Structure 1
Amino acid sequence: MKKSYVYIACLIVFLLAIVAIVVKYNNSEKEKESMVYELLPRKGAANESKEWKEVQKKAGVLFEALKQDPNDINASLKLAALYIQEARESGNYMYYDRAAMKSVNTVLKIDSLNFNGLVFKSLIYLSQHHFAEGLAAAQKARSVNPYNAYVYGLMVDGNVEMGNYDSAVADADKMVSIRPDLTSYSRVSYLREIFGNYKSSIEAMKMAAEAGGQGDEHTEWTRVQLASLYEKTGDYKTAENLYRQSLSMRPNYPYALAGLARVAVAANDNKKAIELYEKADGLINDNSMKEELVDLYRQSGQDKKATDLAKQIIEDLSKDAEAGDKDESIGHYADRELAYAYLKVNNVDKALEHALLEYNRRPENIDANETVAWVYYSKGEYSKALPYIKTALKTNSKNPVLLSRAGMIFLKSGEKEMAKNMLQQASGTNSYVGYTLKAETTTAMQSL
């Protein structure tokens, strides 16, 4: 009899716990639904710009429209677009991705096949590095409207990140045939770069930059990408001119400032590079700039500053990842970035953990394979690195960093002819690949 009472008591406690969890979950969902995502202040001079005032005004109009009618699909879509662009402008992707996804989900609850809603959902997933989900959403949008160019662009992005390169090429061809513009030409350029053709990649990116409006953020982003292509081929003069042109069109554009910083690094002017990176970092949240600063601080003898910043990067990236565990609408898969961040603090075991997490999500992607290969190289496990670096080279990419890393892995694995081939290709571009890697490859070339 006593056992029966104990059983009943345990069952009641269990049921009460379940009820409490459900109530807490429902309350949490209601909070998310009722939350209004105000615009966050921009960093530095951008917070005083005329453009920022206009963005705030537009947001105010949309907030008021949704206050009057929460089911206003047009207002929700415009607000989602505003949030997505503000993420690009500020670098506050986690906050604005969550805000945009809330607006998009409002639309899709009303109309599950709303084309623009599906397009935005795909775009947000891709921004969060949820590449499989982003590709699936884009494919669903295509089923609603197979004649829209932009949706094929999203499929290009998703297929590239998942390692489906032939499908990405087919999607890019379809995109250009429907609407040849900045977004389609830039994707063609990116694919040509992946397949190792820098000359035609530059031609396509030039067409993309010329197709955009001068000073527009998307145009200047494209111009910066064009300059980056020149960097990778060792033409730093042209790259510098393009970065300066971008800054004349869009003053204090952080990505152009970061580009000038890279040009300064290549010219061995670390002091100037640090100043430029710090200025850019003060304008936008971007961990890639901080990672460059870590290396520059170390080279300049500022070890404590470098270590503190490296730890901050890991902390920031980890917060994004942890947020994703709690809420799939805001989570950012940052394992590839975390792998490299942990390498900067010599924690190779954590680096491998994150590199493999990234690889397991997209085993055909060349960047994911390169990351695993380089972590194994850093651990001194060269035979394990070899198959991954071979996969990373499958598209015939001529990225000088990839070629340099491949050369070092082949050398340590005893494949000297392959090592020599890779290192000669990398050095032939005269492109800066980083202080440590450059030192390693220079020594290696002397031994071959």
Structure 2
Amino acid sequence: MTRVRILLPLLGCALLGCVLLALFAPGGVLRRDGEPPPEGREPYDPAGRIGAAQEHLRRHPDDAATWAGLGGAYLEQARRTADVAYYGKAEGAFRRSLRLPVPGGPHIDAVIGMGALANARHDFAGGRRWAERARSAAPHRWALYGVLTDSYLELGDYERAEGALRTMLDGRPDLASFTRAARVEWLRGRTGAAREALLRSREIAGGPAERAFVLWQLGELAWSGGDPRAALAAYGEALAADP
């Protein structure tokens, strides 16, 4: 089995998973420093988030922040269900947010969300454009650099990807940034450093979905490194964490 073939499962998971962790992990890109928009029943319940946001928007249809949050919840639901129909719903919510008047310009979470959506659809040039637009408007919204990192990696521009990742790590060293760091280290052939980054990610995972995501990646790393026993153990832990 070639190195490229081995990489495919890990990279596909890392791309969409990191994008969505940037959106939904505690402290992620759609989380505000002030009062958050209405959310669902618990942090890892996208269906609950969708329902709560829809109910709120029926009463407050001009809430750009909640439209952006709804778009993010649709993206998470797409990841969980593998139903790409949610991409269209996410785009509709993000674009509704972008059309609403917001002081200082379009709601930045919707701009970043559009970048994440473009990457999820494998439109990496589009993802880069949206992330660059977000950087021009709000350079200290750290998770936009995650979208930018993913875009640059998929476009083969590793130097710029590492630069964006360094900015993200300096500004917000969280699960989304450490899982991306693992991916970059792997692509650079530094498997030991990739594993260290994933172990750090496991330590700070905030809930079952995050923990399962990191454990799955540890399993992929072990499998590609020729250690099936460790891989199966990690896969089992991932399933136990979030069946």
> Normalised by the shorter chain, which TM-score bucket?
0.7 to 0.9
Q: Which amino acid counterpart does residue 63 of structure 1 have in structure 2?
A: Q
**Residue 65 of structure 1, aligned match among 39, 44, 56:** 56
Q: Which amino acid aligns with 2:183?
A: Y
Residues 58, 194 of structure 1: alpha-carbon distance in 2 compared, 3 angstrom cutoff: closer
AA of the residue aligned to 1:67 = R
C-alpha displacement at 1:90, in angstroms?
Answer: 0.3
Mapped contact 1:113–1:144 kept (Cα < 8 A): no
Q: CA RMSD in A?
A: 2.0
Aligned identity (percent) is 25
Q: Give the TM-score, by structure 1 length.
A: 0.43
Q: Does 1:239 align with 2:195?
A: no
Aligned-partner Cα distance in 2 for 1:211–1:63:
31
- Contact preservation (8 Å) 1:104, 1:121: yes
CA distance in 2 between counterparts of 1:186 and 1:57 reads: 26
- What is the rounded CA distance, in whole Å, between the counterparts of 1:198 and 1:89 in structure 2? 28
Of 153, 158, 177, 1:160 maps to 153
TM-score (structure 2 length as normaliser): 0.77
Tell me the distance in 2 between the aligned counterparts of 1:118 and 1:58.
Answer: 20
Question: Contact conserved, 2:72 with 2:90, CA < 8 A, in 1?
Answer: yes
Look at both structures and tell me which one has the larger radius of gyration over its CA atoms.
1
Shift of 1:247: 1.5
1:211/1:139 CA distance change after superposition, 3 Å: same
**CA offset at residue 57 of structure 1?**
4.2
* Alpha-carbon shift at residue 54 of structure 1 (Å): 5.5
Instruction: Kindly state the Cα deviation for residue 144 of structure 1 after the two structures are TM-superposed.
Output: 1.4
- 1:142 correspondence with 2:132: no
Query: What does residue range 101-250 of structure 1 map to in structure 2 within 5 Å?
Result: 101-111=91-101, 112-215=105-208, 217-250=209-242
C-alpha displacement at 1:60, in angstroms?
A: 2.8
Distance 1:222 1:135 in 2: 25
Determine which of 78, 85, 90 is the counterpart of 1:87.
Answer: 78
> Could you tell me whether the CA contact under 8 Å between 2:99 and 2:106 is conserved in 1?
no
Higher relative contact order (CA 8 A, sep 6+): 2
How far residue 191 of structure 1 moved from its aligned partner, in angstroms, is 0.8
Distance 1:229 1:113, change over 3 A: same
Task: Determine which structure has the larger helix proportion and give its number.
Answer: 1
List alignment gaps of at least 5 residues for structure 1: 1-49, 252-448
Could you tell me whether the CA contact under 8 Å between 2:65 and 2:109 is conserved in 1?
no
Quote how far apart the aligned CAs of 1:55 are: 4.4
Return the alpha-carbon distance in structure 2 between the equivalents of residues 186 and 160 of structure 1: 14
